[in-house]
Amino acid sequence: MATNLEVTIRRVISTNPATGEVLQQLECGSEAEVRRAVARARVAQASWAGLGVDHRIAILRKFQRLLHESKSEVATLITREAGKPYVEALLTEVLVVLDATRFLIDNAFAFLRDQPVPHGSIAMKAKTGRILREPHGVIAMVSPWNYPLSIPAVDALAALVTGNSVVLKPSEFTSLVGLKLESMLHAAGVPKDVFQVVVGDGATGAALLASDIDKLIFTGSVPTGKRIAQSAAARLLPVVLELGGKDPMLVLEDADIEVASSAAVWGAFVNAGQACLSVERCYVHKSLYTQFLDACVAKTRRLKVGNGMDPQTDVGPMIHERQLRMVEDQVEEAKAQGARVLAGGFCLPESGPHFYAPTVLADVTHQMRIMREETFGPVLSVAPFASEEEAIQLANDSEFGLAASVWTRDRKRGEAVARRIGAGTVMVNDTISCFGISEAPHGGLKASGIGRSHGRFGMEEMVRVKYLDVDRLPRLKKLWWYSYGERLTRQMEAFVDLQFARGGRVRAALQCMGVLKCRKL
């Protein structure tokens, strides 16, 4: 007897990138399942918002305590699923989320409190106004694999404390971390339908975008971000897009070589270079160029590459084969175009399936793809410059504008240069750590995206602003209502003069007195 048409079940596979070990297979959420999740979130959101901010803050306190108590378990899971060294998982993920929670606990109540709006116009002095901040409703989030806890958690916590419900689709490569976040939030008291994780691939993400959501927060590639923006524009869906970077590092002639070279090596190779804030373009004054390269090469060669669970490991694996090949292709192309490989430049199959040696490239130019496109791998590309003006021009010669850093012993000079760099964040004598400053906004310009996360600006993305106006003289007809006529016209001219004329304000005041008389109660 003929069987019914088989339903194809899509699955994602969670794999340890260091060993190739399959951690778990999970079914992808179907379009129908996504719609149902969003519908549940919409029903649950009203009650969640109605609990009040004090109650939501208390739940965040419990979540913070649970995360702290399970920090080792969570960091280990991140290392197993994303590959990064355990200490990086602890510091750049768990610690970042703990501190972001601290910021929200300390600031959410004041942020959501009604904000008085003063009225400067004489005509509006009988009114009182307030700014209200209300939740959007259902916020969807599509998060990446490179920081599978800190990126979604920071946004989700801000959305939750401001009264929204959240449906999160984590990267298919790090689904287990997303599910762990879900279990901790539920254990802390967030209702099951207020925060939901839908596991899946690109089709699941597309279904989430097409569902009945009120806002989308996406972190990922520029091509995908552009497609999302086009789709969202058709329905005027508000979005936040964080689309990566090609962050420059400017080492001026008075910089401390020892400090700057250590920063460049860490900034380029942390998380195997798989960070949107990685140092991907390093410009060094020609007077320091050779010394700086020598220092970077020496420090790079001392790095230990291996499994992130080994406490001696400095650099872990790439997330998957496709990302490794992308890095390999860019390096090989740069070599063919004249770049010098001073360290690394090759795969490390003996270490595991996805390892690439930390690489230092010299004499790179903007004609090379490795200086234009996001590399997202353990490569430090270094080029010389002759003047401060040239360094600024090189830094700004990019379609990206996420972050940058300036290195100098002169603080005022560093700030002056920073102001001329087109980026969402510019650090003087530090790099990447801006992501861990919970009060500071994170986001970029140009192809790096739209909107901000973190801090007060991140909370602003989670609310709709409403202006509430109350007239304190409800029985008085307003001066500007009908009927008009010649008399009212003269009186209104006098009223304008009363407020803005350089002289003759007393006469204007007397002329417009009749306005009140003609407005009957």
The string of pLDDT tens digits covering residues 71-84 is 999 999 999 999 99
Predicted confidence (pLDDT) at residue 468 exceeds the cutoff of 80: yes
How far is the C-alpha of 87 from the C-alpha of 313, rounded, in Å? Answer: 9
Please give the model's pTM, rounded to 2 decimal places.
Answer: 0.95
Over residues 407-426, mean pLDDT: 98
From 520, 519, 521, select the one nearest 479 (Cα to Cα): 519
For 285, the token pair is 């004054």
**Sheet containing 195-197: order of strands:** 195-197, 165-169, 138-142, 215-219, 239-242, 449-450
Which residues are bridge partners to 285 per DSSP? 385
The predicted pLDDT at position 122 comes to 85
Write the CB contacts of 293 (distance below 8 Å, at least 6 apart in sequence).
Answer: 284, 342, 360, 362, 382
Q: Which residues contact 146 (CB under 8 A, 6 or more apart)?
A: 82, 271, 274, 275, 276, 319, 376
CATH of domain 247-437: 3.40.309.10
Mean pLDDT computed over 270-287: 98
3-state helix, strand, coil in the chain (%, to 5): 45, 20, 35
Whole-angstrom CA distances from 289 to 114, 255, 265, 293, 362 are 55, 11, 15, 6, 9
pLDDT band for position 6 (50/70/90)? very low
| CA dihedral for 149, 151, 157, 159, sign (positive or negative) | negative
Mean pLDDT, range 165-171, rounded to an integer = 98
Per the DSSP assignment, residues forming a β-bridge with 356 are 347
AA identity, residue 277? L
pLDDT at residue 513, rounded to an integer: 66
pLDDT value, residue 18: 97
To which CATH superfamily is domain 33-119+135-243+457-466 assigned? Aldehyde Dehydrogenase; Chain A, domain 1 (3.40.605.10)
| pLDDT at residue 5 is higher than 50 | no
Task: Tell me the percentage of the chain whose pLDDT exceeds 70.
Answer: 96
pLDDT at 521 over 60: no
pLDDT of residue 360 exceeding 50, the answer is: yes
Give the pLDDT mean for 170-174. Answer: 98
Task: Give the mean model confidence (pLDDT) for residues 211-235.
Answer: 97
Q: Is 81 a catalytic residue?
A: no
Q: Indicate whether 509 pLDDT > 80.
A: no
Please give the average per-residue pLDDT across 281-306, as a whole number: 98
How large is the average pLDDT for residues 377-384?
A: 98
Report the pLDDT value the prediction gives residue 177, as an integer from 0 to 100: 98
Q: Which of 273, 329, 332, 327 is nearest to 300 (CA)?
A: 273
Give burial (CB, 10 Å; 0-12/13-18/19+) of 110: exposed
Amino acid at site 492: M
Give the list of residues 6+ apart from residue 48 with CB closer than 8 angstroms, or none: 56, 160, 163, 164, 165, 191, 194
Mean pLDDT, the chain, integer: 95
The pLDDT of residue 520 is 46
Give the pLDDT band of residue 130 (cuts 50, 70, 90): very high
What does the pLDDT read at residue 515? Answer: 53
**pLDDT > 60? residue 31:** yes
Q: Distance (Å, rounded) from C-alpha 61 to C-alpha 189?
A: 10
Q: How many CB atoms lie within 10 A of CB 88?
A: 24
Residue of 276, 296, 434, 512 marked active site: 276
Q: Say what the pLDDT of residue 427 is.
A: 98
Distance, in Å, from the CA atom of 109 to the CA atom of 85, rounded to the nearest integer, reads 36
**Which entry of 172, 242, 374, 461 is annotated as an active-site residue?**
242
Q: Could you give the dihedral angle defined by the CA atoms of residues 55, 60, 66 and 67, in that order, rounded to the nearest 10 degrees?
A: 170
What end-to-end distance do the CA atoms of the chain give, in Å? 86
pLDDT given for residue 7 in this prediction:
57
- What percentage of the chain carries pLDDT values higher than 90? 89
- Own/partner pairs for 361-364, CB < 8 Å, 24+ apart? 361/331, 361/334, 362/293, 363/338, 363/339, 364/334, 364/339
When pLDDT is cut at 50, 70 and 90, the band that residue 1 belongs to is very low
> What is the rounded distance in angstroms from the CA atom of residue 1 to the CA atom of residue 459?
59
Confidence class for position 9, pLDDT limits 50, 70, 90 = confident
- pLDDT value of position 123: 85
Of residues 4 and 387, more confidence is placed in 387
Active-site annotation holds for 347: no
For residue 501, what pLDDT band results from cuts at 50, 70 and 90? confident
Answer whether residue 2 shows pLDDT above 60: no
